[in-house]
Amino acid sequence: MALICSCGAELPDHARFCLSCGKPQRENDFVGGMTAEEPVPPAPALAPPVLSSVSFSNPIAVRVALLCASLSALLNFIPLVSFGCCLWVSGAGFLASVLYIRRTGLMLSVGDGARLGGITGLLTFVIGLVLTAFTLLAARAGGGVREALRQSMERIPAQDAVTRQMVEFLTSSAGLAVVLLSYVVLGLLLIVSLATAGGALGAKVMEKD
């Protein structure tokens, strides 16, 4: 006996759908009166962004270090406040580690904290060097330094020839270059070392918390 669809069309044997109206003819093709559909697989969850290690290629680390370095450099240029320069530099490294951990929610190892402190110290030195250069240019301090050295030389006893020769060298262009280069190198080493220690300490303190 031929099967008849509700629309009146004759169906072939074992037909699952009506060739005329498309109506399903089997129960397993119905879901609440509607045709069954294949379940849609859930969209894959997006992996959270992975930050690179603490370095200049990590934008969050650079922004945090730049903020703390700017604060430290400005404090070192305020009269009287600048006497605590070592404290401000090491504090900048410490603060950089704390801010980085709170900003990213990721814990820093002591080594990563030290690297972040080192970046902060390097930026502090660069900012301080730029500020110093502007200050010297504005005040024309180059001539003032030479004049001060000449006045010191005049007060030295004539028999102290070695000291006079040293002062004469320091008042020359080559002497000033040596003094400035020594100041830059020693200042860089001191600032980076203090900030590195502060960064490592900050990571250690946050690790305990």
Does 94 score more than 90 pLDDT?
Answer: yes
Contact call for residues 176 and 142 (beta carbons, < 8 A): yes
pLDDT in tens, 149-186: 566 556 655 555 666 666 666 666 676 677 778 878 89
**Domain spans of the chain?**
1-32, 59-208
Average of per-residue pLDDT across 112-138? 89
Res 33: pLDDT: 47
Average predicted confidence (pLDDT) for the chain: 77
Which long-range contacts does 58-65 make (Cβ < 8 Å, 24+ apart)? 60/100, 60/103, 60/104, 61/100, 61/116, 61/119, 62/119, 64/96, 64/99, 64/100, 64/103, 64/116, 65/96, 65/116, 65/119, 65/120, 65/123
- Sort 192 into a burial class: Cβ within 10 Å, 0-12 / 13-18 / 19+: buried
| 20-24, 45-49, 126-130, 165-169: which is most confident | 126-130
Q: Tell me how far apart the 2 most distant CA atoms of the chain are, in Å.
A: 136
pLDDT band for 28, please (50, 70, 90 cuts): low
* pLDDT surpassing 50 at residue 101: yes
Q: Among 57-71, 76-90, 139-153, which is the least confidently predicted range?
A: 139-153
The more confident residue out of 39 and 56 is: 56
| Predicted pLDDT of residue 58 | 92
User: 193 versus 26: which is more confidently predicted?
Assistant: 193
**pLDDT given for residue 35 in this prediction:** 46
pLDDT one-digit tens code per residue, 40-66: 666 665 544 445 588 899 999 999 999
Label residue 69 by pLDDT band (50, 70, 90). very high
